[in-house]
Amino acid sequence: MARQRKPKGRPVSGWLILDKPVDFGSTEAVSKIKWLFKAQKAGHAGTLDPLASGMLPIALGDATKTVPYVMEGRKIYEFTVTWGEERATDDLEGDVTESSDKRPARADIEALLEKYTGVIEQVPPQFSAIKIDGARAYDLAREGETVEIPTREVEIHRLTLIGCPDENSADFEVECGKGTYVRALARDMGRDLGCFGHISALRRPFVAPFSEDMLVPLSELTALEDIEDDSERFAALEEFLVDTSEALTSLPHVPVTDEQARRLKLGNPIILRGAHAPVEEPEAYASVGGRLVAIGEIAQGQFRPRRVFG
């Protein structure tokens, strides 16, 4: 029997709610955080473009098992649309593909907001991570190909015009669901207004269930690289971590005893007793003493684990 390879790195777990700086890719950010913490595993919950700043939740260790729950959460973006130019990337990076001397009146912008609220059809940008016949759309776009990207349904819970600093731009805030491209929103509004448009500034201050006060600037983390003692440096870094269970606050919670936790970690169901014990739930999480134990289903008065945590 082949010997199982020991994972490289430390078995650290939890969420880091990074305030990603501009000109720093999401994959690059994950790699940097994984290296700083010397973590065995790391992943993020929702890509942010390099030109965007703001909340990039990064999961370390066992917290990577909870990434899908954060991916489903609502997001808030603050963004500026510059009118008069449509660009290949729908932001500042791309070449100008369309232009217009027309500029929209504030009333015309406000009249358009309702069209982009609710469940809408959206075509993702040519420069996006959508897969077309197995290839990423942005790779095909960089090779000069224009591809047909199918429309998708996305949900816009709220779209607000914050202000118009001048006739050439407008500031917005949008609260939206999974899969929404803010760059496509700017592109489509520009087309509807007959003036074209592209994103010139973009920030994400919120990804449910995490709050803005959890944000950690990258500079605060990299400043700790100067601490020579490993244990002291790792202890200081871990002060910034949010418990893994914070990603699951949308699910019902089942407190368990130490003995029940032991059974769950072995993959065994436990019986839930008491007048207020839930009987049926498609998904819930169990914890003991504030520590996450398992995610599973509640059926016929039992908690049945699907994923367990160390």
Residues that are catalytic: 49
Half-sphere exposure of 124 (CA within 13 A, CB side): 21
Q: Which value, in Å, is the radius of gyration of the alpha carbons in the chain?
A: 23
* Separation of alpha carbons 213 and 232, rounded Å: 25
Q: CA geometry: angle at 43 spanning 298 and 295, to 5°?
A: 10
- Element spanning 18, H or E: strand 14-20
The phi and psi torsions of 231 (rounded to 5 degrees) equal -65, -40
* HSE-CB of 282 using CA atoms within 13 angstroms: 1
SS3 call for 144: coil
Query: By 3-state DSSP, what share of the chain in percent is helix, strand and coil, each rounded to 5?
Result: 25, 35, 35
Task: Count each helix (H run) and each strand (E run) in the chain, helices first.
Answer: 8, 18
Instruction: Give Cα 153 distance to the centre of its chain.
Output: 18
Under DSSP, the state recorded for 229 is -
DSSP conformation class of 61: G
H or E element in which residue 280 lies: none
Q: Read off the amino acid at residue 135.
A: A
CA 216 to CA 246: how far, in whole Å? 16
